[in-house]
Chain A
Amino acid sequence: AQKITQTQPGMFVQEKEAVTLDCTYDTSDPSYGLFWYKQPSSGEMIFLIYQGSYDQQNATEGRYSLNFQKARKSANLVISASQLGDSAMYFCAMREPRDDKIIFGKGTRLHILP
């Protein structure tokens, strides 16, 4: 069974609109970390934001915020006021301490339209 599920293979969003990228995860470990990465066409994986399973508040980092719903095992990335440069692949990932592996989802390709 997949541990990280990203159900949106592709999205098209108008520039300046907010966008939500979905991510659900599966773990029985109470302690885990959730990450979002951006991968532009250049290929580099760029770290965006981190959410710990014990964090009480949703993580925010500039225009990025993480809508963390622990009971639903959901960690959606919200990008406010999207820009053309936000066009890229976005990966949700989870780290489980017992494995110390970071498991990645299959990604969502985001296209920002002018």
Chain B
Amino acid sequence: EAGVVQSPRYKIIEKKQPVAFWCNPISGHNTLYWYLQNLGQGPELLIRYENEEAVDDSQLPKDRFSAERLKGVDSTLKIQPAELGDSAVYLCASSLGTRRTDTQYFGPGTRLTVL
């Protein structure tokens, strides 16, 4: 069974440029998460989707970040414009559902560097 797929793995951009990350969850997983991980820290949730609905985006900086999951499968996270402080690893994860036993499985992440 294929795991969570993310692309690109690495991205280097100049500040004020836009950038987009793509995620394809494990087949059959209804819940999709985007996390931000700063160096030396644990992941922090940006947004959670139940199928195509964003049910928790309270931590998403909506002035520059946006996300979509149009058909309830793959998802895109966008930053426009990027700032120096956005340099981090962006992780996508998926789970079957939201019961406490539902394990989240992570993709390899996209390492973003903003110059």
Query: Which residues of A line the B interface, CB within 8 A?
Result: 4, 31-33, 35, 37, 42-47, 50, 52-53, 91, 93, 95-97, 100-102, 104-107
Contacts and interface: CB of A to CB of B under 8 A. Distances in A.
The SS class assigned to the A binding surface is strand
B93 A52 contact: no
A44 B107 contact: yes
B71 interface: no
B18 interface: no
Q: For this complex, into which size category does the number of interface residues on chain B fall?
A: 20 to 34
Given A35-B104, A47-B104, 7 more contacts: A4-B42, A33-B100, A35-B103, A44-B107, A53-B100, A95-B100, A102-B33
Contacts of B111: 43
A94 B105 CA distance: 14
B99 interface: yes
Residue among A46, A104, A106 having the largest count of chain B Cβ atoms under 10 Å: A104
